[in-house]
Structures are given as C-alpha cells and as structure tokens.
Amino acid sequence: MLKKITLALSLSLMSLAASAEVTLTNTVFEVVTIISEDGSKQNHWQQPDKLLPGERVGYQIEVNNKGKEPAADIVIANPIPEHTIYVQDSAKGLNTSIEFSVDNGKTFAQPAELFVEKDGKRVQAASEDFTQVRWKLNTPLAAGASSTVQYIVKIK
C-alpha cells in the first residue's frame, strides 16, 4: 500500500522535473480525528496506514514557481475522485477563492449558489453533489514562491 503511493508520487515528481518551471505536487494523507484530553477534536493528517470505506483522505496540492518570473492567474482544479465524497468545508488555501462545480467542471460557484435537481426539484447542492473543487490564487506567485491548498474526501 505505502509502496504504491510512493511510486505514484515519484512518477509525478519525475515528470515535473522534466517539464516547466512551475511544478505541481499532489500528496495523499490519511486523516484521523484526534481527541485531546480536554475533549476537543482535531484532524491529524498522517502517512496512509490503511484507507478504508468510510475513512477520510486528505489531498495536499502544492504549486511551486521555480522559474525566474512570477506566475499569474493561477487556478488549481481538482475533480473529486471517483468512489469518494467531498467533506464539507474541508477545502482550504491561503489567499485563494474556492469554488465548486456540480456539473463536472462546466460551471463553478460558491456552495450557496450551487443547485442540483433531485426528484424533479431544484434544490441547494450538498457536499456529496460536488464534482470538482477549484482554487483561484488572489495574487500572482512570485519567483521561488510556493502555495499549498488542500481538501478532504471520504471514501464511499
């Protein structure tokens, strides 16, 4: 299991090194809940040990500008993987505006503005209806800078 992930990672890293100066890395984590002694709960992202139905998987996507000039209009898009459901409010990214799609990326909007048809009625989309998540960086990425976004899905 661990070996497979490492292999996939190294493959992607290899292909990046050979191409542009802006690189993208995608890393998967197992997300577990930690209950502290005071009873508060926190998410802990750890190396995957076991990935089972019902468990949460976190994706961390890092964009890195290794070039000598800034990169602008940066948009990171990620389809929600098959067999998984987006976990509500889990998408994060500093200085980004986050939007979702319920039509496989044709249109994107804030969750409150997304609607789907259920039983012939137009209703507010729920997180399980999301098909894509998209981060728009609010500022250009300076040369040598990097930015990381993340989100969590639950395995069906």
Where along the sequence are the contacts to other proteins (CB under 8 A)?
1, 4-5, 8-9, 12, 16, 19-20, 22-29, 32-37, 42, 44-46, 48-57, 59-61, 63, 67, 69-79, 81-84, 141, 148, 155-156
Q: Are 121 and 78 in contact (CB under 8 A)?
A: no
Residue 153 has a CB neighbour count (10 Å cut-off) of 24
By beta-carbon proximity to other proteins, the closer residue of 65 and 114 is 65
- Find, among 20, 115, 129, the residue nearest to 68 by Cα: 20
- Helix, coil or strand: residue 53: coil
Considering the complex, state which of residue 25 and residue 116 has its C-beta at the smaller distance from other proteins.
25
Distance of closest approach, residue 107 Cβ to other proteins, in angstroms: 16
| φ and ψ at residue 34, rounded to 5 degrees | -110, 125
Residue number, 3 or 122, with CB nearest to other proteins: 3
